[in-house]
Structure 1
Amino acid sequence: MKEALVPLVFFAQFDRPLTLQQLRRYGWGREFGVDELKQIIKKSDMHLSGALCYLDETHLSEYARRQELAKKFWQRVKQSRWVFANVPFIKMVAIGNTLAYDNVHENSDIDLFIVTTSGRVWTARAVLLLWLGLLGLRVRSVKKYLLISPEFFVDETALDLSLCAIANDYYLAYWLADLAPVWRTDYFDTVWNANRWLKDKLPVAYRSPNLRTEFNGPARASWFGWALEKILAGRFGDRIEAWARAKQQRIIDRNKVKLGINPSVIADDHVIKIHFNDKRAEVRERIEEFLAR
């Protein structure tokens, strides 16, 4: 029954305790009842204090403060949504990683996952980076607090994220389970349906996606975003897309050499995923060591 405790091992790496309901939602491989989870915790090295389960007691001290700090980050997201309206070809924007589950700290950033129109992923990325750079909102150094990191783009033909996975990719599964759409949220159902493989990994989480009601409602492109889409359609737009890709590809390749520690970079016609320090294999190793004990 160690699989029931996989979520605690995973989120311990981010100093995050879980409630019993969260532990149930994140159950790996099958569903576990709350009473069943209590019994499993009692027989393990894990701890249960009040409503919270945890691996290390130090995780409790920061829990409430991080949740409170997350409110400031969500306010920044709300204030920044107008930027997405001024970027052409965006079909959806979602928040991932620690902010998605309210576990931020003083050097957290705001990780974006962006879906674009087919054949325009590089154009959309270029315009978004330009806006964020002009506004001083883009992560550019080790100082990340309240800044935006748009490092994962896919177009509408590449919604199945299992194609980006490594073997036994716990990180990707939990990242996807907590993905929180914040712009054009109605498109999220399309993304979710394209990732039915998550149902086998996290059956309860797949039935209960991380939808935040404050971001519901229509989200339309501005006249500027609409005009750019019209101008950049057709063959002219194809040439701009090729130019945008070539220019950005050179920068990505240079940064991969300069900044890469354990880089994981996908940069093709449909997916741009840039992580210069990919920890997925490390996360998998820790979980599999726990399961093998």
Structure 2
Amino acid sequence: MKSTVILVEQNNKRLLNTRNNILATLAYFDMWDYPLTYGEIFLFLENKYGQHDFTEALDQLIANKLVFHFDRFYSLKNDYMIAVRRNKGNKKATGLINKAKEVGAFLSRFPYVRGIGISGSLSKNFADDNSDIDFFIITERNRLWLARTFMHIFKKLTFLVGKQHNYCMNYYIDEARLQIVEKNIYTAIEVATIIPLEGDTTFESFFKTNAWMHDFLPNKCMRLATAKPLKKPWYKALIEKLFNNLFGNWLDNTLMRITAGRWNKKTAMKRLNMRGAIMSMATSKHFAKPAPENFQVKLIERYLNKVANLLQESEDRVAQ
């Protein structure tokens, strides 16, 4: 009898943890009004659970009206239009991803580029009328700023023809520092959802170096198969040869200081980007990326508050 009670208590505790995990997963994507499928919820859970426990916990949440089921999607919002919005966004993303593959193949031909991947909302298979194509770029070690400068000189030209939204190159790292420094739920999901386009061996090294992602998403696998082997046309090889010397080292360091100084001025002046956020960039010899304190920190704080309120609501609902 005692052993039966213990088993029941263990089962209830396991189901409670599973329910809380499901709510936390849905809460993250709910910040973007993005409902998830059954399989997606399972992939983005922070712990591993058996299929039976997962299904039972999800059914309980639906029965308690904490989670709502529309077509093949699950959401915290009782609004069918959220499913309509996702279907529409997925359809639009298909066309943009095909475009991103073309652009990625072109960008991979720039000097010192070793890997190109899709990031941002498009990497989650979603796009709307205002969506950009965001690229995650890996460069040769100690040549990030040369690569970035070459690419951004080209990007200036895209403004002339209104194509700048297809070339959002806002996150760079180099092969000397492949590991993402910030380790949290946001960066784990961003790493896990990158769609590698060019540079198969480079992305293989990147994902191995960032295996810490599995601490947050133990069920998620990487998409290595999507990356193509990197090609090096003759002009790319020639330009790299010209700068593979002491002058190239000096120029890369100089470009880093100039660019960092310009961005620091933009941040100090509180200049806004097209989304209405203060323009900022974190820089070092081995990375150029959006400053974490201006987005990541605030996002995670918002997420944790949302989860805390949701779990309290769940506890109150079950207790009634």
Superposed, which structure 2 residues align to 1:125-274 within 5 Å?
Answer: 125-136=148-159, 146-161=165-180, 163-165=181-183, 169-205=184-220, 208-211=221-224, 215-257=226-268, 258-259=270-271, 261=277, 265-274=281-290
Paired residue secondary structure (1:28): coil
Question: Quick one: structure 1 residues 277 and 284, their matched pair in 2 at CA, closer, same or farther if it must change by over 3 Å?
Answer: closer
Q: Please say if 1:85 is aligned against 2:96.
A: no
Preserved CA contact (<8 Å) 1:117 1:156 = yes
Preserved CA contact (<8 Å) 2:22 2:58 = no
Q: How many Å separate the matches in 1 of 2:21 and 2:296? A: 18
Question: Quick one: structure 1 residues 218 and 55, their matched pair in 2 at CA, closer, same or farther if it must change by over 3 Å?
Answer: same
Question: Quick one: structure 1 residues 288 and 276, their matched pair in 2 at CA, closer, same or farther if it must change by over 3 Å?
Answer: closer
What is residue 8 of structure 2 aligned with on the other side? none
Shift of residue 263 of structure 1? 6.4
Deviations 1:28-52 (A, max 9, x none): 2334534244235324511123321
Structure 1's unaligned 5+ residue stretches are none
> How many positions carry a matched residue from both structures?
281
| TM-score (normalised: structure 1) | 0.86
Q: How many Å separate the matches in 2 of 1:193 and 1:199? A: 11
Question: Quick one: structure 1 residues 19 and 240, their matched pair in 2 at CA, closer, same or farther if it must change by over 3 Å?
Answer: same
Shift of residue 229 of structure 1? 0.7
Q: How many Å separate the matches in 1 of 2:213 and 2:104? A: 28
Q: How many Å separate the matches in 2 of 1:272 and 1:89? A: 15
Structure 2's unaligned 5+ residue stretches are 1-16, 313-320
Paired residue secondary structure (2:294): coil
Deviations 1:133-171 (A, max 9, x none): 2234999xxx97x4322111111121111x134xxx321
**What is the percent sequence identity of the aligned residues?**
20
Preserved CA contact (<8 Å) 2:271 2:278 = no
Question: Quick one: structure 1 residues 209 and 20, their matched pair in 2 at CA, closer, same or farther if it must change by over 3 Å?
Answer: same
Shift of residue 184 of structure 1? 1.1
Q: How many Å separate the matches in 2 of 1:216 and 1:154? A: 17
Shift of residue 186 of structure 1? 3.0
Letter of the 1:164 partner, please give it. Answer: E
What is residue 61 of structure 2 aligned with on the other side? 41
Shift of residue 109 of structure 1? 0.9
Paired residue secondary structure (1:15): coil
Shift of residue 22 of structure 1? 0.4
What is residue 72 of structure 2 aligned with on the other side? 51
What is residue 124 of structure 1 aligned with on the other side? 147
What is residue 109 of structure 1 aligned with on the other side? 132
Larger Rg: 2
Which has the larger helix fraction? 2
What is residue 10 of structure 2 aligned with on the other side? none
Q: How many Å separate the matches in 2 of 1:138 and 1:29? A: 47
**Aligned-residue CA RMSD (Å):** 2.5
| TM-score (normalised: structure 2) | 0.79
Preserved CA contact (<8 Å) 1:180 1:210 = yes
Paired residue secondary structure (1:204): coil
Q: How many Å separate the matches in 2 of 1:28 and 1:264? A: 30
Preserved CA contact (<8 Å) 1:15 1:59 = yes
Q: How many Å separate the matches in 2 of 1:210 and 1:188? A: 9
Preserved CA contact (<8 Å) 2:133 2:168 = yes
Question: Quick one: structure 1 residues 194 and 276, their matched pair in 2 at CA, closer, same or farther if it must change by over 3 Å?
Answer: closer
